[in-house]
Amino acid sequence: MQDHALGRFDKSFLIHMIKDFFLVLLLVTLLEFALKAGKVFWDYRSNGEAQALEVAEKLSDNVISIMRNSGGPVAASTLYPILDQNWKELGYEIAIEPSAKTLQAIEKNFSYTPIGIPKAAMADGEHKAASVDIKAVAFCLSCHTGASVGEVLGTVTVRNYLGRDFQIWWEDVKLTLGLAVGKIVLHSILLFMILRARMEPLLRLRSVVSNLSKAYTDLGQRAEVRTSDEFGVLARDLNVFLDRIERLLEELEKVLHKVVNVNDDILQVQGDLRKQIDQVVSKSRMLERDAMFQAKREPRLSNAWFDSVKRSIAELDSSISGASSASAAGIVNELRTVVTNAEAQIANSEHLYTSLAELGDDAETLKAPIAEMTRLEERMQGIVETGTDLVSRLRPQR
């Protein structure tokens, strides 16, 4: 029965292969994103605090540079929100808190209270933190009156948030996911086209095998060999295999012809032997019946008759023993010879009757082997018919 699930090559193997290739690429892409997420978590656990410290040191240098180059504390109040926004985009929360002496000096010299970036504004969540003190240098003393070189003017605190790191990772995923999916689809289409072109010899080979699998198909067809790759070698091997089958079929046909001829000879011999046996049986039975009828028409002499004749010959012989008649002695001898011949003929007749009866019995026993030969001939005829049907199915053109 034909399996409807078996369709064209591009509806079975090729489509499944493209689907598997697509899924593998998709899994590889997802695994790549997962590895990047794992790297983000590993960097946070192993280097989060060091990264926060490095950012805090950079931020401390930035604050000192702002104080030196941008107009002191007044400019700092304008630039701090910019710094806060920039570092937030990089995944960090910062706080810049002035010391008590800085508050006193700024309130006294600039008549306002510096706020900086308060630590209270930092978000909650899993984080690694680092703090660096901002120490006074010589040029700071012009604004921070009452302070001395090396004294702490404020503290920079930096928090490295795990959630912010994953948020940056997710933004990267959203940016690259569409490109990755497009690349996967493009690669799948290219693979489909390449496989479609490279698998065409296999499609032709499958068509030949499909035709060969049908009943009463001509085994003389061969696969076309166009390439020297594995598919070409497979087509060539299939052709060699079909050639071997053709040779085997030719040998089988020869054997069947010989069997048919032998079967015909057996039939001829069997018919002739049956006729001869029937003739022998018929003749032997006729001879047996004729002998029996003849014996009834001319009954054989009894033993009493022979005894009486023998006694008469003996008396005749004794009566003429004293005479000199030669003719009488000759008559006695002739009578003795007749009796002897009669006894011999009767014995031969009895032996002949017995032999005829045995011949008839032996001829009857030959009918059983003849019947067995008939059964063997019928079985051989069945084998011939089966083999002929097999060859006709394998080579319907013949």
**Do 98 and 160 lie in a common domain?**
yes
Question: Does the residue 364 lie in any domain?
Answer: yes
Q: Which has more pLDDT, 195 or 314?
A: 195
**Do 384 and 290 lie in a common domain?**
yes
H-type helices in the chain, by residue range? 13-69, 73-89, 100-110, 162-198, 200-212, 230-297, 303-319, 326-365, 367-394
**Do 164 and 236 lie in a common domain?**
no
**Do 169 and 30 lie in a common domain?**
yes
**Do 172 and 260 lie in a common domain?**
no
Q: What is the DSSP letter of 395?
A: -
Q: Which has more pLDDT, 384 or 316?
A: 384
* Distance in angstroms (rounded) separating the CA atoms of residues 14 and 11: 7
How many other C-beta atoms can be found within 10 angstroms of the C-beta atom of residue 393?
Answer: 11
Question: Does the residue 211 lie in any domain?
Answer: no
Question: Does the residue 284 lie in any domain?
Answer: yes
Q: Which residue has the tokens 């969540």?
A: 125
**Do 70 and 109 lie in a common domain?**
yes
136-180 pLDDT per residue, tens: 877 777 777 777 888 888 899 998 888 888 888 888 888 888 888
pLDDT of residue 35: 92
Q: Which has more pLDDT, 129 or 211?
A: 129
Q: Is a pLDDT exceeding 70 seen at residue 315?
A: no
* Distance in angstroms (rounded) separating the CA atoms of residues 42 and 162: 10
Among 230, 246, 262, give the residue marking a domain's end.
246
**Do 163 and 233 lie in a common domain?**
no
**Do 29 and 126 lie in a common domain?**
yes
* Distance in angstroms (rounded) separating the CA atoms of residues 206 and 147: 93
Q: What is the mean pLDDT of residues 199-204?
A: 78
Q: What is the mean pLDDT of residues 300-309?
A: 59
Q: Is a pLDDT exceeding 70 seen at residue 330?
A: no
Pairing outcome for strands 92-98 and 127-135: unpaired
Question: Cβ neighbours of residue 246 under 8 Å, at least 6 residues apart?
Answer: 219, 220
Q: Is a pLDDT exceeding 70 seen at residue 343?
A: no
**Do 150 and 53 lie in a common domain?**
yes
The structural domain count of the chain equals 3
Q: What is the mean pLDDT of residues 199-220?
A: 76
Question: Does the residue 199 lie in any domain?
Answer: no
Question: Does the residue 197 lie in any domain?
Answer: no
User: Taking each helix axis from N to C terminus, what angle separates 230-297 and 367-394, rounded to the nearest 10 degrees?
Assistant: 160
Q: How confident is the model at residue 269 (pLDDT cuts 50, 70, 90)?
A: confident
pLDDT of residue 84: 84
Percent of the chain with pLDDT over 70: 70
Q: What is the mean pLDDT of residues 74-101?
A: 81
Q: 167 — alpha (psi -120 to 50), left (phi > 0) or beta?
A: alpha
Q: What is the mean pLDDT of residues 47-66?
A: 85
Question: Does the residue 238 lie in any domain?
Answer: yes
Residues in the chain: 398
Q: Is a pLDDT exceeding 50 seen at residue 7?
A: no
Question: Does the residue 198 lie in any domain?
Answer: no
Question: Which of 12-21, 93-102, 132-141 is the least confident region?
Answer: 12-21
Question: Which of 218-232, 296-310, 340-354 is the least confident region?
Answer: 296-310
Mean pLDDT, the chain, as a whole number? 76
* Distance in angstroms (rounded) separating the CA atoms of residues 128 and 80: 22
Q: What is the DSSP letter of 117?
A: B
Question: Does the residue 200 lie in any domain?
Answer: no
Pairing outcome for strands 152-161 and 92-98: antiparallel
Give yes or no for a contact between 182 and 171, defined as CB atoms under 8 angstroms apart.
no
Q: What is the mean pLDDT of residues 237-245?
A: 86
Identify which of 54, 149, 103 has the alpha carbon closest to the alpha carbon of residue 62: 54
Q: What three-state secondary structure class fits 325?
A: coil
Q: Is a pLDDT exceeding 70 seen at residue 120?
A: yes
Q: How confident is the model at residue 4 (pLDDT cuts 50, 70, 90)?
A: very low
pLDDT of residue 6: 43
Q: Is the pTM of this model over 0.75?
A: no
**Do 263 and 225 lie in a common domain?**
no
- For the chain, the farthest-separated pair of C-alpha atoms sits apart, in whole angstroms, at 211
The range of the structural domain enclosing residue 234 comes to 217-246
* Distance in angstroms (rounded) separating the CA atoms of residues 259 and 373: 15
Q: Read off the tokens for 57.
A: 């040191």
**Do 151 and 241 lie in a common domain?**
no
Among 246, 265, 289, give the residue marking a domain's end.
246
**Do 284 and 238 lie in a common domain?**
no
* Distance in angstroms (rounded) separating the CA atoms of residues 302 and 281: 31
Among 246, 267, 285, give the residue marking a domain's end.
246
